[in-house]
Structure 1
């Protein structure tokens, strides 16, 4: 299998290779159809995704996991909106730019569950892509094949090999991939090494691997033949797990806290501790491996947007965000484990091999390019509409205005909540600043359905506050603002003088609030037009309240007397009933055959002449005997 290793290809094969992706034309990439990608050990086609080009799978479970990933869902939505598919590395860069954590393709288990926050993030990326594609340049409207994660090379007559683009240096043009592949075959002193890290769902796996042999000739003459050195070798590895996610719930505790606030459960505390411990463990491991990481040629990191911050851009970090060695895994991955790292290492370091003739490849290219969606016509920009008025910028308030608004807020809160004693003290101290007890409530307070403090207290159902405000000589005839407009006639018509406007009394929803208005009308009849403009129906004096209380007491006493008479009559009826001997024998129920609760027809005939009370007693005795019989058995 060493012939298929990406760093140990034969010189004969390299000399015969030509760039496969340039066969379709300039700057047009014609990636190999899914059926042309096969494993090194077999010429049979593997499973792949037609949307996310470059994604290949060894079995159906990997394909299902890919279909649930955010990368695949984003490409599907993007294609439906007329966009193009992106590679997984480009998708991860979009995630980093969005600064949100997605968990679909980075689930903590193979089943994988998408949380609501993941779906919102994918939708945000799609919407951003819509905005970018609204103003398409004419050059961008040319039909192009989506970028493939693999770079393909053709060796006549019928051999093709594919190498992951992530192995080439950044900014390497398409026509230089072949030369870059040839340069990768040159031996390097000390060998080539990679750093591979995965973190998801509280699981972490990391390894430092050697991917090419030592360039120096270290062979020493010996009688025994030296064992062949493998193409790849794991130099250092480490895995550990912390409790950071709820089982089958998806998403980390920090994501849940950011969306819904900090949870106070014991499990949430444990998950927060697990996240902190996971971050500390990873950073300590990176510090221990700092020398090996410095010598690595490539650094592969699989982590969500939030988890990527664990590896870089902190005090004493070994990895920095702008490092050109950073890569993401260009294919779907499973839960971070040592075996998964080994699988990914084999996937990256082994070339893909297929065997198709040039005629078949040409036909596949033509069919594939014909299947690409046709470019949409350029959108016609509408004529410029009337310029909208710029929105007024919020006026910056002075300290005096802010203090005045805060006082109004406190006053409205005390009135609406009925805090009478603090209200009295506050009004004695600050009442002169508001312009009197009938001052209009400002619009910026938000109380649009009332105009005065009296109306606010009445609507809130605070009878003590209403009584105090009326005693402070508040005007009860002020109309309610939201109903004042209904009292006016239409434009050009005279207002209806008979139409009634609502006042503070009309806002009262309980009898106690209405009694407060009636008492004040009786106590201060000359203050306002109580029975006219204020809509108070009548006064309520002390004598009237006492009379009402007496009537209520008399009515309650009459009800009690009637209840006592009824109970006395029932007792007399019970005394007149004939007594029944409770010890009279009861016919035993038949022991064989099915029996119904309550006995048979003969039993019912035996108790037909008894009162309901006696029937209940007999039935109770019958059930007790039946229970004793069951216990004896």
Structure 2
């Protein structure tokens, strides 16, 4: 017996079975590596290397496979650089389409539709492969649709996994297969696509009562009953799709809006009628469906709503008996239901010796691509953010005082500064105390802050009253020197070379602040090393200041005298110009009357429409230009 019915397997054969788990369960990553090794059923010369080595019982079955959409899809996918898919994977792709891609029972009638659908599937797979990130690595194929069992020395048997109960682990498939040999079972099978519907209630396993009747009957033994029997069936068709357009009318309406043609109205009516006919049939068969062990449904996403998700539905969406066909199907017909029933209930067999199986497993494991070890560069460690330090109450008060002190010095608020310093000066470390780093201040002392801010009164108060040290160096950090040394006026001291030391005097941006340092150096030369460590270029005494002021006054007086002489020389040369007669106001003209092209001419055109003050100003400018012209002629 070359084929076995899965519900009528010989007991002596079942007792010798062991699960074949290697090829069926080990995930095979898709990669440009050689094609996967054939499974246990791929034996002999009648096999398809494109479709993962699937084998055939005879030449006719092989030719039918080469004409199938599954094979043509794999051929086009391999030509595009992709990988072949199993029957189960291809079936899932088919379920995503609205119509059957295999056409009707007549191969010639709908061949164009089939080609278009296969091309659409290939394009979709290509776009999906391109959109995958390279970092995700090769995708792993889904688990094979068949579960294989081995019986020594050289018999293998395959059963579709969808036949077993949901939740059964693959290690328990063998015990589940033995349990399936007892009791009667019925299945419900429904297909809908392209306006075609086919449904049936079939018996796939006879009960013990039927066997006992045949054994104990006194009459002549009847012909043995078939393993499967169709109890109820129904097929019908409605006009729902346009020829070679693809897709239902409802999907077209959702995408482009409701069409108003007569054909569109007929297709909408056909969809509604098809839905009502199917639901009425399911309610009519409700008792038989509730008694079924499996419910097989082939329908696309939109057509699947016909069977469930409506008020009073017989088949619930969460029903554990629901299954999809794990292989490609054609247009829904009664003959197609019979073919699918035979495919599901007939066990697949092969005959490989244990040595051949072992060699096959080794070849398969060797064909698996080795994972590439990609060195991962250590991620740059982000600088850790300093954790906030919990301060004591005394520390918070101390920081608040420093903040207030720096604010008063930088803003030049001398009077509040004096009162604050009388109270807190000693507690903060004195006038030369180093400014804490947590304040973010770039300067080192209060004198440097005051000099940089340009407050001469605060600077003088620090130097004269509190003897602040002007020799303390300014901290150099990065490009601070160029920033701080920028000044709107020329400094009396030469700019220090880059990287050398600086003092508070170097931070002074204005002459009055620098004069404070020079004045203090002249008044108290013994206090500090003014001309060395403090970098003050020279002292400034009171006499020097008075002399400088006198020079400024003389310079200003000389400039004024030169201006007066220049004006006096220009006066005798200028002759008084007779006062022009006041211009007669031009007669008002109607804006609507005739106008002379070019408007007024001469001097009257320049002052027409001006106020008396503006006219006087224009006349003064004219007289000034005339006087300048006469002076120019006289000087030649």
TM-score, normalised relative to structure 2: 0.50
| Compared CA separation, residues 376 and 215, structure 1 to 2 (3 A) | farther
**From 190, 203, 212, the counterpart of 1:210:** 203
Matched, 1:246 2:239: no
The range that moved more, 22-31 or 159-168, is 22-31
Question: What CA distance in whole angstroms lies between the structure 2 residues aligned with 1:211 and 1:31?
Answer: 34
Q: Is the 8 A contact 1:78 1:85 kept in 2?
A: no
**From 290, 294, 298, the counterpart of 1:298:** 294
The range that moved more, 24-33 or 327-336, is 24-33
Question: What CA distance in whole angstroms lies between the structure 2 residues aligned with 1:258 and 1:21?
Answer: 46
Matched, 1:36 2:41: yes
What is the deviation of 1:371? 3.0
What is the deviation of 1:58? 2.4
For 2:208, what is the secondary structure of its paired residue? coil
Matched, 1:361 2:363: no
Question: What CA distance in whole angstroms lies between the structure 2 residues aligned with 1:287 and 1:367?
Answer: 53
Matched, 1:182 2:178: yes
**From 330, 337, 360, the counterpart of 2:333:** 337
For 1:281, what is the secondary structure of its paired residue? helix
What is the deviation of 1:159? 0.9
For 1:80, what is the secondary structure of its paired residue? coil
Which residue matches 1:88? 88
**From 125, 128, 143, the counterpart of 1:126:** 128
**From 56, 61, 65, the counterpart of 1:58:** 61
Deviations 1:12-71 (A, max 9, x none): 111111111247997889998268357xxxx8846575359799992434443324888x
What is the deviation of 1:289? 0.7
Question: What CA distance in whole angstroms lies between the structure 1 residues aligned with 2:188 and 2:593?
Answer: 89
Q: How does 1:176-575 map to 2 (within 5 A)?
A: 176-185=172-181, 187-188=182-183, 191-216=184-209, 217-219=212-214, 221-375=217-371
**How many residue pairs were aligned?**
371
Which residue matches 2:418? none
Q: How does 1:122-161 map to 2 (within 5 A)?
A: 122=124, 126=128, 130=132, 134=135, 147-161=143-157
Q: Is the 8 A contact 2:159 2:348 kept in 1?
A: yes
Deviations 1:542-562 (A, max 9, x none): xxxxxxxxxxxxxxxxxxxxx
Larger radius of gyration: 2
Q: Is the 8 A contact 1:113 1:249 kept in 2?
A: no
Question: What CA distance in whole angstroms lies between the structure 2 residues aligned with 1:61 and 1:47?
Answer: 12
For 1:363, what is the secondary structure of its paired residue? helix
For 2:68, what is the secondary structure of its paired residue? helix
| Compared CA separation, residues 316 and 37, structure 1 to 2 (3 A) | farther
Which residue matches 1:397? none
Q: Is the 8 A contact 1:2 1:231 kept in 2?
A: no
Question: What CA distance in whole angstroms lies between the structure 1 residues aligned with 2:341 and 2:272?
Answer: 29
Question: What CA distance in whole angstroms lies between the structure 1 residues aligned with 2:136 and 2:294?
Answer: 37
Q: Is the 8 A contact 1:253 1:268 kept in 2?
A: yes
Which residue matches 1:9? 9
Q: Is the 8 A contact 2:51 2:86 kept in 1?
A: no
Q: Is the 8 A contact 1:48 1:55 kept in 2?
A: no
Q: Is the 8 A contact 1:54 1:150 kept in 2?
A: no
What is the deviation of 1:363? 1.9
Question: What CA distance in whole angstroms lies between the structure 2 residues aligned with 1:9 and 1:161?
Answer: 10
Question: What CA distance in whole angstroms lies between the structure 2 residues aligned with 1:75 and 1:338?
Answer: 32
Question: What CA distance in whole angstroms lies between the structure 2 residues aligned with 1:159 and 1:123?
Answer: 37
| Compared CA separation, residues 173 and 183, structure 1 to 2 (3 A) | same
What is the deviation of 1:256? 2.3
What is the deviation of 1:182? 1.2
Question: What CA distance in whole angstroms lies between the structure 2 residues aligned with 1:210 and 1:183?
Answer: 17
| Compared CA separation, residues 279 and 121, structure 1 to 2 (3 A) | farther
For 2:187, what is the secondary structure of its paired residue? strand
Q: Is the 8 A contact 1:202 1:242 kept in 2?
A: yes
What is the deviation of 1:125? 8.7
Deviations 1:382-440 (A, max 9, x none): 96999xxxxxxxxxxxxxxxxxxxxxxxxxxxxxxxxxxxxxxxxxxxxxxxxxxxxxx
| Compared CA separation, residues 159 and 68, structure 1 to 2 (3 A) | closer
Q: Is the 8 A contact 2:3 2:346 kept in 1?
A: no
For 1:33, what is the secondary structure of its paired residue? coil
Deviations 1:73-111 (A, max 9, x none): 998699839xx957637963x898xxx644464756753
What is the RMSD computed on CA atoms of the aligned residues?
A: 4.5
| Compared CA separation, residues 361 and 146, structure 1 to 2 (3 A) | farther
Q: Is the 8 A contact 2:308 2:315 kept in 1?
A: yes
Q: Is the 8 A contact 1:312 1:321 kept in 2?
A: yes
TM-score, normalised relative to structure 1: 0.50
The range that moved more, 48-57 or 310-319, is 48-57
Deviations 1:161-214 (A, max 9, x none): 1111111112322222111111111x22xx101111111111111111000012
What is the deviation of 1:127? 6.3
